[in-house]
Amino acid sequence: MVRIIPMASSIRPSLSSLRFTATSRIGVSLASQNPSRKLSLYHFGSAIPQSQCFGLKASKLLRGDGSSMAISAAGNMAQASTNTSQENALDWVKKDKRRMLHVVYRVGDLDRTIKFYTECLGMKLLRKRDIPEERYTNAFLGYGPEDSHFVIELTYNYGVDAYDIGSGFGHFGIAVDDVAKTVELIKAKGGKVTREPGPVKGGSTVIAFIEDPDGYKFELLERGPTPEPLCQVMLRVGDLERSINFHEEVSVAPYFS
């Protein structure tokens, strides 16, 4: 039996208020690093229309032992969009309906995480679903409705209050208009700041790193207004080209280059 707990529907913005550009898509940011065996993420959900599914077997692209991966596209941090021109990106957004839908990960206290994400990171609680016979509860949070925004799907397993995040997971990236102000708010709420605001090493964009109550890292990136502040997931990979091929051929990110 699945118990759906309806949430306020007041957050559905009028579509005319949303400007869909390439930056309104979530990107996967990867950093090449010594591979480790720990995979921290539960899974990514993505929407790929049946007609666009590739015949490639994903397994041949991934290392057999399932070790994790990280590739850094640190490059020019100021560029919030893809390397394709803005016109090409807009054409792509109109034609290609594939997009990453959600990321799922496990937390030790659902209400504690919901409070942190809503009060410190400005997300909205979109819905909860409780499955007592499977002894777990999900909570969905994001910066807009699921039919147009990438969302975080938290999983609480009854009785499990902590997890080993592992070294494969890097961070989630959130675009904010004022990193220093956001960091001050997080400190005032008792949140943990692991890297103070300042230009990224090797670049010019102002960033900061914070941790949520379970220790998952969030990078705050100073950028202008965007319809999708939840803008990246950084994973550490053992083979950059292999991972790029996977994401271009099998996954849903054919135009981020």
Ligand X SMILES: C[C@@H](O)C(=O)SC[C@H](NC(=O)CC[C@H](N)C(=O)O)C(=O)NCC(=O)O
Residues marked as catalytic = 219
Q: Which of ligand X, Zn ion, none has residue 200 at its interface (CB below 5 to 8 Å by kind)?
A: ligand X
Token pair of 182, please?
A: 């956001």
Can you tell me which residue has the tokens 């975080």?
152
Which residue stretches of the chain are H helix? 58-61, 86-95, 110-119, 179-188, 240-249
Token pair of 113, please?
A: 């995480």
Choice between 72 and 155, CB closer to Zn ion: 72
- The residue within the footprint of ligand X, chosen from 39, 62, 74, 114 (CB under 6 A), is 74
Shortest CB 248 distance to ligand X, Å: 18
Residue type, 67: S
Q: Is 64 left (phi over 0), alpha (psi -120 to 50) or beta?
A: alpha
Region 107-126 residues binding ligand X, contact defined as CB under 6 A: none
Length of the chain: 257
Shortest CB 14 distance to Zn ion, Å: 31
Phi, psi angles (nearest 5°) of residue 244: -65, -45
Q: Judged by CB under 6 A, which stretch of 11-19, 35-43, 78-86, 232-240 contacts ligand X?
A: 232-240
Q: Judged by CB under 6 A, which stretch of 48-56, 67-75, 180-188, 241-249 contacts ligand X?
A: 67-75
For residue 219, state whether it binds Zn ion (rule: CB under 5 A): yes
Question: What residues line the site for Zn ion (CB under 5 A)?
Answer: 29, 173, 219, 234
